[in-house]
Structure 1
Amino acid sequence: MIELRHLQYFRALAETLHFGRAAERLHISQPPLSRQIALLEEELGVKLFDRSRRHVELTDAGQRFYLDTGTVFAAFEQAKRNALAAARGAAGELSVGFMMSTAYSVTPAITRRYAAQYPQVNLKLTETLPMDLAQDISSGNKDVAIMYRPQDCSGLETVTIYREEMTVVLPPGHRLLEQPLIDPRDLAAETFIIVPRRIAPALHDMIVNYCLQHGVTPNVGLEINMQQTIVNLVGEGLGIAIVPRSMRNMRLTTTTFRPLVAPPVIEVVAVWKADNHNPCIATFVESAMRASEEATLQDQ
């Protein structure tokens, strides 16, 4: 059976055309080298070298074999680099789920940065409701999720990658449009459009608790799953909403965003299963944090 070392012996001799110098390069004695070359020729069924007492020359078959084994070794070196890259999380496959609202904040920047840094990683992105993301991670359907911190983090790892203030979005002609800063107490008589708690408990609870802390019990008129749909419905005059500040990036002409007094801050986290050993997770999380830092600086 031909082994990689036989090819190494052959190429050393082909490049030196001298058994003594080839053996020295290979750190072996000359007799074993001669035996291995003879065995290689026997295995191939062709003569690779013409030998005489004074010189060694490659045959036509030997010249062809030398060219082809160069391709073999190039492929082997590439295989070693690929294995190392995979072990370091620079190659492979990574499945990422994200909330649609983060498409207006950090997900685009994270995706661009990671794809540029790790082009050998097959990155699969899927938009998913917050309520389903943690389950996707626990079940192994996704490697990483970009989401609000789940209520139950047992068996999960989380890292905060982005923080943003909440803001109020108002419809056309609203009575509070002239106010540069909105006191939550001024929203007591308003109809709220809010995400259902079963869909995004962290976000729902933050909004309700913020209102309650300021003596306001929110009058919930509509419960809507998607933040962009909530903003659209506000633009249609169906109520007001407290949403992440990044939703301003929808740039609707029918809505106006105003800052809140002592606004609550929502955290977006990267979540993955503790026993998921995909090495691409670590590179993704590191890249996500860097991209988020850059996005935060640009937003200031």
Structure 2
Amino acid sequence: MELRWMEDFIALARTQHFSRAAEEQNVTQPTFSRRIKLLEEEMGTTLINRQTLPLTLTPAGAEFLKLCEQVTERVRLTRERLNRMTSEQASRLLIAAPQSLLTHFLPHWMTNQPQLARLQPYLRATGWLIADYFQGLACGECDLALCYWPVGRCDIDIDVSEYQYLIVGREHLIPCSAPGEHGAPRFRLPGTKRHSQAWIAYHPRGLLSAAIASHLARMPEATHLTVLNETIQTNNVKELVSLGYGLGWLPARVAKPALDQGQLVRAGDERWDIPLQLRLYRLAGTQRYELDKLWSQIASSSEVTPGASE
């Protein structure tokens, strides 16, 4: 049984006339009459009393009309709900970001800018390396990518010429260590040849690893570090550093609570801090109304700095 047959039956019960009901349903009368006949055959009984003018329903037809009205109304409400869901989904924009930015930056940023309410964090991206973000943008897996970006010169083997970005914030990496005796850092930069310092490092193909390496290469004094562990997640670095396994660089937003409480201390002075930008990337040349609108709103904010494709 087709839904349109039920709609035909409701129209016929309302108009009490085959021709008017057929016109209302935008079909010819023969086609309409045939569909009503098929409906009666499907139900196994006569639903229309054709001997009266205007037409009337048989007792079975009156009962069947209740079912038709219930079914078509539920279908209508469900269709409206699905359309709203589709519309809402179309207006949502997936933003990929490292776990530390999802936790320590994105909620505050979204709260202060109401237009960002349509953003939906793409949690799968918390395990991505920097190249994965641009691949995700290129294949449409996400609409925006929020990532750390070094301020100084840094060798990053990624072609970003097809992407646009906005600078939406600032950050810096702080070298941290668990406190030792009298609150002094258990591990301290720069280390010596005889006493190399244990280092909880980031994944070598990650952007933070490249930023740290570039910064250390520009420092006038050599560092002596021994990598004990490499990880993607900033929280993993913080956990291992807090447990006293070595020193590590942490974003200031991540490190500040532990530094304030004395759970972590600086492993070096400000010379070892590494400035970063918080960049929001999108694939250039894409045309999507919701994304274009949001991009323009963010770009017009006094808190951001537009950047051209590199």
Counterpart position of 2:211: 206
In structure 2, relative to structure 1, the CA distance for the partners of 1:254 and 1:43 (3 Å cut) is closer
Counterpart-to-counterpart distance in 1, 2:167 and 2:5: 52
Following the alignment from structure 2 to structure 1, what is the Cα–Cα distance between the partners of residues 85 and 109? Answer: 20
Mapped partners of 2:167, 2:68: distance in 1: 48
- Determine if the alignment matches structure 1 residue 245 to structure 2 residue 252: yes
Q: Measure the CA separation in 1 of the matches of 2:209 and 2:76.
A: 54
What are the Cα deviations for residues 114-165 of structure 1, in whole angstroms up to 9, with x where unaligned? xx869xx9x7647526389569959x9x9448766884459x9786686441
Map 1:1-150 onto structure 2 (within 5 A): 2-27=1-26, 32-70=31-69, 71-72=71-72, 74-75=74-75, 78-79=78-79, 82=82, 85-86=85-86, 89-90=89-90, 99-106=98-105, 125=124, 127-128=126-127, 130=129, 133=132, 143-144=141-142
Q: Contact conserved, 2:198 with 2:225, CA < 8 A, in 1?
A: yes
Whether contact under 8 Å (2:98, 2:126) holds in the other structure is yes
1:198 aligns to what SS in structure 2? coil
CA 1:234 to 1:39, structure 2 compared with 1: closer, same or farther past 3 Å?
closer
Q: For residues 240-279 of structure 1, what are the structure 2 equivalents within 5 Å? A: 240-248=247-255, 251=258, 253-256=262-265, 260=270, 263-267=274-278
Asked if the contact 1:99/1:127 (under 8 Å) is kept, the reply is yes
Deviation at 1:203, TM superposition (A): 0.8
Counterpart CA distance in 2 for 1:158 and 1:84 is: 31
Cα shift at 1:73? 5.6
Confirm or deny: 8 A CA contact 1:165 1:265 kept in the other structure.
yes
Q: Distance in 2 between matches of 1:13 and 1:110?
A: 57
1:179-232 per-position Cα deviation (integer Å, ceiling 9, x unaligned): xxxxxxx954584735245252x1112122223334243332344424234334
Amino acid at match of 1:195: A
C-alpha contact 1:146 1:271 (8 A) present in aligned 2: no
Q: Partners in 2 of 1:50 and 1:80 — Cα distance?
A: 34
TM-score, structure 1 as length reference: 0.59
Give the C-alpha shift of residue 24 in structure 1: 4.4
1:165 aligns with 2:164: no
Residue 265 of structure 1, CA deviation: 0.8
- RMSD of the alignment, in Å? 5.4
C-alpha separation in 1, matches of 2:13 and 2:65: 7
Structure 1 contact 210–264 (Cα < 8 Å) conserved: no
Q: Displacement of 1:11 after TM fit?
A: 1.4
For normalisation by structure 2, the TM-score amounts to 0.57
Structure 2: where are the runs of 5+ without partners?
A: 150-155, 305-310
- Per the alignment, do residues 212 and 38 of structure 1 end up closer, same or farther by CA in structure 2, a change over 3 Å counting? same
Specify the SS of the correspondent of 1:264: strand
Task: Measure the CA separation in 1 of the matches of 2:3 and 2:208.
Answer: 59
> What are structure 1's unaligned runs of at least 5 residues?
176-185, 273-278
Match in the other structure for 1:276: none
